[in-house]
Structure formats: structure tokens, C-alpha cells
Amino acid sequence: MMMRRWVTGGMVVAMIFGGLVMTARAGQSGAAQSGAGLRAITLEDQFAIELVEGPRISPDGKWVAYSVTTTSLAKDEDEQRVWMVPFAGGDAIALTSEGVSSGHPEWSPDGKYLAFLSARKGGTTQVWLLNRLGGEATQLTDFPQAVDSLVWSPDGKRLCLVMRDATRDELDAAKDRGEGNESGEKAEEKKKAAKPWVIDRLQFKSDEVGYLDHRRTHLYVYDVASKKSTQVTGGDYDDENPAWSPDGTKLAFASNRSGEPDRNYNTDVWVVAADNADKGAHLTQITTNPGDDHGPAWSPDGKWIAYVTQTDAKLFDYATKHLAISPATGGGAAKVLTRELDRNVEDVKFSADGQSVFFIVDDDGTQNLCKISVNGGEVTRPVGGRLMVYSYSVGANGEIAAQIDRMDRPSEIYAVAAGAAAGSEPVRLTHTNDALISQLRISPGEYVHFKSKDGTAVAGYLYKPLDYVAGKKVPTLLIPHGGPVWAWYAEFQAKIQWLNAAGYAVVTPNPRGSSGYGQKFCQAIFADWGNKDFQDDMAIVDYAIAQGIADPEKLGVGGHSYGAISTDFIIAETTRFKGAMSDAGEALSLTGYGHDQYFKDYELELGRPWENRSPWERTSQFYNVAKITTPTLFMGGAIDWNVPIIGGEQMYQAMKSLGRETELVVYPDEYHEFKTPSHIKDRLIRQMAWWEHYVKGSGTPATPKELGSHDE
């Protein structure tokens, strides 16, 4: 599902830091592994897990292409390759070579070629073409700027590309490449001081981009034979999610084209002619909902467009994302199909016969693949159960390939045959991580239900240590999730397995504010962070203590993003935790305004700070820092514009001023989602050392001196 503010994005990082969850279920492949010869997971094992994602079924339904990302601690980098596997089962085949990252494969309509994205020869990310029968990949596009995504036209003669307007540096670099080298004069020019940013946009920052100018993301139609492109959308707007009409004459896409896009979340679905040469001067507006409409998909007959919609604009991310359909000609009334479901949906696709729509649903600590008639009614689950469906592909005959993460196994590609009954067990096609997982003892988690202080029913996951003995009280860690609109899911989580192996129980609650339990549950913390969600977080700790598992004298708390914000609330409200870790958090809300990327969220939820001070102060635990006595480790990335490091710096400075036990670790050149494997490893080691020293009381140093620091 789409992640909202203060959430770690990216599957690999999420597996290591997000506390992705596991649970046991009768009949599922999630039984705990035990027996002679198996061992506990190690720190290095977490980096040996390969990320399998993005399945794409070939047009004839016989093959599934996908990407695999591996991490090299020696090279300190990730690498992605394209693979394919027979849908009927069999050996997987590597299609791209080692040493160069390649991903996001897309089949040509005739099934002869795979287009994919890769940055080779030291250039920007471009489209490459690979014959399925073999041979070397050839570069198809050569734009100054990177290609973000691609979609084949139905006739296979064109591609729709999404690209951001090129920078001056990208244009100069492209010119230099065209000339074959770089003259001494040009090299000398590049040594001059960089020019200042001149800001005049209302929304002027974004994580992993930095300061924003008026360069926008637009759609281009690229002719494969002539290698010529036409920009079909333009203006001071960002355009995304392109989808070809079945006859190849039009493109649907999502874009906020309101009077001032930076001021609201009013993204709509639009249609543009594929041969348009006026950069989108003449568009057909499909949706008029004031909230967010995105992810369009055409019906096979071209008469309807399905999409994701949020109908309550004032609640933005707290509002449920529904599935809707509208006439493809525009001007017709939208029909919301999942209103009664009251669960977030994403990634919509029509069935081959056009009578149903597939979608991923966020429900009760899981993500399942669902299906509903275009007329509404009953929701069925082609892939259901306590598991996590990340992405999927539907074949021409109704077959399904899905990326599924389970409690005992990281993501692999699974198949569901055409016509299979709803709820049929998917067949695993890939075995990428088998060699590693077969060596490990897996500690199963349990999906538990408990009552909060005010009687509200809440759920979450509880994981016991690997060698847990019934009745023994053990050190226990509470890990609040990011978001706040997000949840813990039934997934494999390497970090939790590692903590379990070290003797810790772990609890990961889905308090009010979490998705997957309905809009009312989700919006319960709107403009009221650290109140009801605090009560619910404490309730799962009390539950673990009541079960005789958690040692009340050896409790720790720590999270990332909104999980760090929750941590700051928790340690300011209670002294029951012996150690805390706040990773990429914020404790003084006013500091974020104009400094991070969320001014729209702030104004919608809290109001303008100079007009409405009360909620800004109520959601800022910085003012209660004097109450904090829990030793706390603050961490974050130096160039994070999602939740900037200033939040951790302020809390660290205040606690240091008060003479409290604290430490601040800042990672150079890291955004909200860390990219560098050595930094990720360092962060894991430091967190474990903090828990060992303060929670377990092992006597080991809280700061691993052997890791070193920036000044050495």
C-alpha cells in the first residue's frame, strides 16, 4: 500500500528497520522451524536476504518476469537484476548480468521483448530492451534526464515514459557525452561555486529531491522504431500513473491540476490523446472529487476507468482509500465500489473480461488480493489469509502472479491458476531465499487482541524469544510503527528475528491511527497524537506482562519515523521503560513547519501555528522533556527532509542540558530511507548495544566504540 508521512519506504530497509511482522496460523506455511542443524539468524543474514518483487506475467501466460535485489556489504551497495520463471513452475532464469543494476521489467504485448530500466555506462536511468530468447540487452532511450517508469502501448510500437524535466547539469552532461569527452574549459567551469536556490513555490521541499523548483514530471510517448519522443503533458503540474486505453489512442493519468497544486491534495484522473503534440493543452477530466484520485486502469472495452479515491479531502491520509469507476469519456458520476468495505485499497486492475476489478486491500494486519464486480457487491479474496501481498500481475486468461511476504519467509513470487477458487493456496514459483531460510530457526509470532484503557479493542503482534520457556519473564521491546496511518503486518521481519534470537520478546501494536481497521479507528488520533495511541501502545505491553512473558523491570521502547514520535510521547508520559531509541523522530511540531515536506498536512490537521497554537503545543512532547529520565538514543539521516534530523537534535540537546543519559547519531548523506548498507548495519549494531546495556542490563557498553565515528 502507499506509505504516508513518517514511514520508512522501500522493502529492503523496511525489512531491517520497520519491524515487519510475523504470526502463526494453522495450515499456513508459517510454522516455526525447529530441529537439529538449524541456527538463529545473525546480523549478516539480514543483508543476505534478497528482495524479490514486481512480478509481470508474459502475454501468453507462460512466464513471469521479476526483479531481485541483493546487498553487498563488501561493496557497500545494492544491485538489482531481472529474472523470469515459468508460470507452471521450474528453474528461474537470470536475464540481466551481475555488476549492473537493472529492474522494473515490462513485457512487450507480443511477448518477444522485455523493456527494463537501468543506469549503465555511468549515465542516467534509461530504457533497455532484451529479447526473451537471449542475447545482450540494447539501450533504447538516451534522454538527458532519468526515466522514472514505462508502459507499453497495446500495439507494442510505443512506450509511455514518465520523466522529470531535465536540470541544466543533466543537459550539459548529455551534451558532453555527445561530444565524446569533456574539455578542460568545461571541467574548470564545473569547479565554480554552485548557484543559489531561488524559491518561489509554496511546496518547496521533498525528501530525496531537496529544494523544489518548477521542473515537473510529465508523460512522453516514445516511438520504438524511430526512437523519437513526443511530450504529451506539460505545465506546472506533476503527472503520474499513465495507463494506455485498449485501442492505444489515449492515455489516462493522475495529476493535481487545481489552481494551486501545492496547496491541496486534489489529484484527479485525466485523459490525453496519445498523439497529442500540444503538451496537454486539451485534456479530458475524468474525476472531480476534491480528494486524491490516482492509479487509473482501463476496462478492456475502453468504456470505464477504475481508480483509487479518497472522498474526504479534509481527512487526507486518515480517510479511507476506496475503489471507484467512472466513464472514460468524462462527465459521468463516479461509482464507489468498496464503500461498505471501509478498508484502504491500492493497485487496481480490471479482469480480462471486464466484469470485475482486482485490488490490494489493507485489512486487519494483512494485505490481501481482492476482487469485486464492477456492479459492486461481495468482495472475494483470490489471495487471502494472514500474509502480505505487495504487488501482483493478472494474465490474459485470469492467471495471477503475486509478490507475497509470509511470516516465515521473505517475499517470493507465487502463482494462482486461472479459475482457482477464492482463497486457494498460491503456489510458490521462486526459491530465491531458500538456501538461507532453510538454515534458520524461525520464531513464530502471534496476532493478539487486547483491550485498551478505555475499553477499545486493539490488535497487534507478539513475538517470544527463540528459546522461550513458558512462564519465564524476559526483556521486552515495544516497537511503535510509522505513519501514523500505517500498521504492522503479517510479514517476515529479519530484525525481529534477530532480537528474538538475542533473548528479547517484541510487541508491535496497531493502535488507533493504524490503517486496516476502518476510517473511524484511523482518524481517532487526528490532531491528537500521543493520546489514544499511547493508551493502546501501553495496553499491549500490559498484555505481554499479564501473559507472564514480559519482565516489567526490563522494558525498552523504540521506533522509526512516527514510531520515533510515539517513542518520544511514551517516555515523556511514563518511566516504565529502561531504555529508548528514537530514530528519525520529531518532538517539536512547529520546527517541522517550513522545514520538512508536510506543511499541507500540518495546516489541514493542526491549522496554521500562528492562528491555532493549542494543537501544535499538544502534539509536541518537547515541552515535556524535563519529565524524561529514560536513557534515549536519537538517530537519523543528515539530509532527511521527511522527518529532518533537527527533531532528534533538539531532543538530544534538551536531554543533554538536563544531564540525562542520551546520545545522538547522525548518518551522512542519508535520507529518511537509508541507502548505504554499512550505515544500516551500523544503526542495527548501535541499537542492539543500547538495548543490551539499558534494557537487559548486560554490562556491555551502550556505545560500541569499535564502530568509530565521523571525527576519527
User: Model confidence over 273-326: pLDDT tens digits?
Assistant: 999 888 888 999 999 999 999 999 999 999 999 999 999 999 999 999 999 999
- The residues facing 151 across adjacent strands are 160
Beta strand extents in 457-504 (DSSP E only): 457-463, 474-478
Confidence at residue 705, expressed as pLDDT on a 0 to 100 scale: 84
Q: Residue 708's pLDDT band (boundaries 50, 70, 90)? A: confident
The pLDDT of 494-523, averaged and rounded, is 98
pLDDT of residue 6: 43
pLDDT for the residue 423: 77
pLDDT of 26 above 50: no
- C-alpha cell belonging to residue 656: 543533554
What pLDDT is attached to residue 24?
A: 27
Q: Record the pTM.
A: 0.93
Peptide bond into 484 cis (omega under 30): yes
Q: State how far the Cα of 599 lies from the Cα of 605, in Å rounded to an integer.
A: 10
Provide the pLDDT for residue 35.
59
CA atoms of 339 and 518, how far apart (whole Å): 11
Question: E-strand spans in 236-330?
Answer: 239-244, 250-255, 268-273, 284-285, 293-298, 304-310, 321-327
Neighbour count for residue 396 (Cβ, 10 Å): 13
Strands (E), 210-276: 210-211, 217-223, 229-231, 239-244, 250-255, 268-273
**What pLDDT was estimated at residue 190?**
57
- All structural domains of the chain, each given as residue ranges with its CATH number in brackets, are 445-698 (3.40.50.1820)
What number of CA atoms fall less than 13 Å from residue 544's CA on the CB side? 35
For residue 696, the 8-state DSSP code is I
pLDDT in tens, 177-221: 666 555 445 545 556 788 899 999 999 999 999 999 999 999 999
Over residues 75-99, the pLDDT tens digits come to 999 999 999 999 999 999 999 988 8
pLDDT in tens, 631-671: 999 999 999 999 999 999 999 999 999 999 999 999 999 99
Mean pLDDT of the chain: 92
Task: Check residue 194 and give its pLDDT.
Answer: 85
pLDDT of residue 559: 98
Question: What is the structure's pLDDT at 188?
Answer: 54
Report the pLDDT value the prediction gives residue 30, as an integer from 0 to 100.
36
Res. 408: pLDDT tops 50: yes
Q: 439: how many CB neighbours lie within 10 A of its CB? A: 14
**What pLDDT, in 10s, does the model give residues 210-262?**
999 999 999 999 999 999 999 999 999 999 999 999 999 999 999 999 999 99
| The predicted structure's pLDDT at residue 54 | 97
Best CA proximity match to 484, nearest among 386, 560, 593, 573: 560
Q: What does the pLDDT read at residue 119?
A: 93
Burial of 370 (0-12, 13-18, 19+ CB in 10 A): buried
Residue 537 confidence (pLDDT) above 80: yes
pLDDT at 181: 55
Range with the poorest average pLDDT among 16-25, 477-486, 701-710: 16-25
Q: What pLDDT, on the 0 to 100 scale, is given for residue 19?
A: 31
Note the pLDDT of residue 696. Answer: 96
The DSSP H or E segment spanning 116 is strand 113-118
Summarize the confidence of residues 121-144 as an average pLDDT.
Answer: 90
